[in-house]
Amino acid sequence: MMNLSALLNKYNLFPKKGLGQNFLTDPHHLGKIIEAAELSPDDTVLEIGPGPGALTRLLAESAGRVIAVELDEAMVNLLRQEYGHLSNLTVVHADILQTSLAELLESGVRSQNTDDVIRHSSLVIRNFKVVANLPYYITSAAIRHLLESRPQPQRIVITIQKEVAQRIVAQPGDMSLLAVSVQFYGAPKLVHKIPAGAFYPPPKVDSAVVRIDTFDSPPVAVADVEQFFAVVKAGFGQKRKQLKNTLAAGLRRPGPEIVAALHAAGIDPTRRAETLSLPEWGRLVAALM
């Protein structure tokens, strides 16, 4: 088990609250994250926010290549000093929200000492995973960035606030804009819960590990993804109100037109957004177009 205090003291570092730095070093919980990722030597892993590198080291032992993206320059220095000897690890100083995944993957390929860069680059694009203990404050933005990126990771394993994890895996009856947004791109599963006390410093809430296996294509046929989400956002725009009202207000379209579209999609106009399944959203968007 990593002696976190000694490591941070060695570099005169302290967790930065502004960067959401809550470090997980417990081997049991770290092992569950590695297990959920199902890594092989053929995998390239993109790690977000590695911090002092407890998870990074385990990823490097299991995957063919690890690209660790860290915003904190002091942590970047620590990672390079402590783990620079690992030939399959590339540490990148960058803001994940401002950096394309393609650019990061290419940086990992360029760092290799190989004459077969083109072949490996093609493999990386087709076969990479994201594993991360995400800072709470970037959770939604980071998930959106990962799922909407091209290339898209085949699997995402993230540690996030437990309440957010539960929202992501929700089923019709308890859906949210976040749930629809994630489930449009992949199949999420809550695989492990982590108590706040397992982190240093401990956050105020418990965490959970979510695995998202991305789809090759969306589970519903959508002619225009932007239009699809415009309708979904309008539907969730006013909580606890009926769809006929929230859609009319959010889309700025006449009430009778909205009701007709709902009937055409086989949806009772008095239902609420949280009760709809993805196929129902798909039919509704088609009826509105």
CATH number for position 187: 3.40.50.150
Domains in the chain, number:
2
Side chain identity, residue 234: A
Q: Are 45 and 26 part of one and the same domain?
A: yes
What is the dihedral angle through the alpha carbons of 82, 84, 89, 91, rounded to the nearest 10 degrees?
80
Q: How far apart (Å, rounded) are the C-alpha atoms in residues 104 and 243?
A: 41
Q: How far apart (Å, rounded) are the C-alpha atoms in residues 173 and 150?
A: 31
156 to each of 38, 182, 281, how far by Cα in Å? 11, 11, 24
Q: Are 256 and 135 part of one and the same domain?
A: no
Q: pLDDT for 162-172, tens place per residue?
A: 999 999 999 99
Joined together, the tokens standing for residue 63 give: 């995957």
Tell me, what's the pLDDT at 115?
43
Q: Are 243 and 100 part of one and the same domain?
A: no
Checking if the pLDDT of 88 tops 60, the result is: yes
Does the pTM of the predicted model rise above 0.85? Answer: yes
Q: Which helix (H) or strand (E) holds 207?
A: strand 207-214
CATH number for position 271: 1.10.8.100
Q: Are 229 and 209 part of one and the same domain?
A: no
* Helix, strand, or coil (residue 157): strand
Q: Is residue 219 part of a domain?
A: no
Q: Is residue 194 part of a domain?
A: yes
Joined together, the tokens standing for residue 142 give: 């980071």
